[in-house]
Chains A and B, each alone.
Chain A
């Protein structure tokens, strides 16, 4: 039995055709396997790319929040005021750069991981914002708001106008006096937004020594309480809200779309007729009083303005400033809470709404209105669930 295998007595396990077919399958499978490693490489590369994108997508907002407040070579905490008596440059930790011309004043309104809000109170300030940075930069003025992510531009608030000039990138300028309420500026363009003309007394001179600290405080602006005499020109005081569309139309601002290398326009802003008196700026006036250490009077001035003010960005800024004065300097939490509630009721400027809500909740808690404080905190958590103050607000909601 062992000498001759049984297999020799059996039909072949696979005939010639079947063997040939199996061989073809072997060759095909071999070819497939030789390609497979490349496919694996593609699959792995694709997987890695998808994973990297997912990680970036998930980490990006966290990174922004983790970025925290923007640091610079000067204090940039909310409320910080930066004055320049000579040309001054501020280098930011993210590579951005802010340049203040002499007599310019900048105030930090909010400084968080995802936004940096400043107010140009006066003078010319240049911004060179690092493109692609984590923060949205918002520059507030009493006449317009400039929104930017990465660009270089200059904001100049003179006595009679606001000028925004873009060197690089794109900015959005919003404001009631801005043509069409919003304008998009690209490199080489600039917009001039004229202030309303008022016959009120000229504002105090710029700079900290604007107001003599030893001298009696300047009188409360009469324009806030009594209408100015009726001149032939636009009588709207500057510290009043800008004229609405149903009233006299605002002075026509001009958008200069000529390249920057041409000499800047030296002509006055296209406001007709030309100003006969410097405008009165409620924010600048309040700033001057604050700089003089007269916080209570500054608050009263703002209060008086707000009594008749319309709900525009200037009123929002004024109410915010009032709230901060009451909260930080006057120990009047109830007054602060009311002021911040006013900011939120006005809803403008948008950039300070989150900070206003936080401060309102804090002021209410400080005033002993715990139920209202919790409600405000809950509102914050609803509106800004991932907000920078979420932890603090969550603590406030606890009984």
Chain B
């Protein structure tokens, strides 16, 4: 459904549903943040609509569980709207949301360690969720990547997923991982080497 911004603004009813507001794209994150700080419901919904898909992707690709991904998405935006006043640089909203999402993911991982007796639900591989149009050899490649990711530490895996699966820039990865750019580069280098080593190892038998 496509609705113009001018039509949305005087219609509070849209607060109860998600709409695709193409006209809102022209509004920057900084402007949305400024309005959302005044509890503007329209601006909050725009923020959600603009960034929820990526937040959900971060959660699902890291946790490999759609239910937990939905929960993390909800938690992320709840925290974000609650702490929006603490966002120093409104233009960096995307990275800030990713940092919140990653921290919630880490929290879930810690809980999984505590609840080790509970059935693990992180068996969803990248190949499993590949789009229907993806070629079989690409699916095989995705499966290999997925196997490689499972074998590397979380500290390396998260930057790799953010960079290569979600498509974040190095700066955004650094923000999301709450570490320096140099550290991100170092982690990415090690992760990429591990992934490459694994795929070559499998390819050469």
Please pick, from B15, B59, B142, the residue contacting A9 in the complex, using a CB distance under 8 A: B142
A232 proximal to B (CB < 8 A): no
- Closest approach, in angstroms, between the C-beta of B188 and any C-beta of chain A? 9
A345 proximal to B (CB < 8 A): no
Complex contacts, B145 vs chain A, CB 8 Å: 6
A14 touches B66 (CB 8 A): yes
Interface of B is mostly: helix
A20 touches B66 (CB 8 A): no
B33 proximal to A (CB < 8 A): no
B70 touches A22 (CB 8 A): yes
A19 touches B82 (CB 8 A): no
Interface of A is mostly: helix
B99 proximal to A (CB < 8 A): no
Within 8 A of A (CB), among B69-94: 69-70, 73-74, 77-78, 81-82
CB-nearest residue of chain A to B196: A1
How many A residues face the partner with a CB closer than 8 A?
27
Interface 0/1 of A24-41, CB less than 8 Å to B? 111101100100000000
Say whether, besides A7-B61, A23-B52, A33-B82, A18 and B166 are in contact (CB < 8 Å). Answer: no
Please pick, from B45, B53, B82, the residue contacting A13 in the complex, using a CB distance under 8 A: B53
Please pick, from A10, A14, A26, the residue contacting B130 in the complex, using a CB distance under 8 A: A10
Cα separation A241 to B158 with both chains bound (whole Å) = 100
Besides A14-B60, A27-B15, A30-B81, 6 more A-B contacts (Cβ < 8 Å) are: A13-B61, A13-B69, A14-B69, A16-B18, A18-B66, A23-B48
Within 8 A of B (CB), among A314-329: none
A2 proximal to B (CB < 8 A): yes
Complex contacts, A30 vs chain B, CB 8 Å: 78, 81
- Closest approach, in angstroms, between the C-beta of B152 and any C-beta of chain A? 16
How many B residues face the partner with a CB closer than 8 A?
35
Complex contacts, B142 vs chain A, CB 8 Å: 6, 9
Within 8 A of B (CB), among A330-355: none
Complex contacts, A26 vs chain B, CB 8 Å: 48, 74, 77-78, 81
Cα separation A248 to B140 with both chains bound (whole Å) = 119
- Closest approach, in angstroms, between the C-beta of A26 and any C-beta of chain B? 5
Complex contacts, B73 vs chain A, CB 8 Å: 14, 19, 22
Complex contacts, B163 vs chain A, CB 8 Å: 2
- Closest approach, in angstroms, between the C-beta of B32 and any C-beta of chain A? 15
Complex contacts, A6 vs chain B, CB 8 Å: 126, 142, 145, 164-165
B167 touches A5 (CB 8 A): yes
A12 proximal to B (CB < 8 A): yes
Q: Could you write out 20 A-B pairs with CB less than 8 Å apart? A: A2-B164, A4-B167, A6-B142, A7-B57, A8-B167, A14-B52, A14-B53, A14-B66, A18-B70, A19-B18, A19-B52, A19-B53, A19-B73, A20-B17, A21-B70, A22-B77, A26-B74, A27-B16, A30-B81, A33-B78
CB-nearest residue of chain A to B1: A16
Please pick, from A7, A9, A24, A27, the residue contacting B166 in the complex, using a CB distance under 8 A: A7
- Closest approach, in angstroms, between the C-beta of B24 and any C-beta of chain A? 15
Complex contacts, A7 vs chain B, CB 8 Å: 57, 61, 165-167
Cα separation A7 to B56 with both chains bound (whole Å) = 11
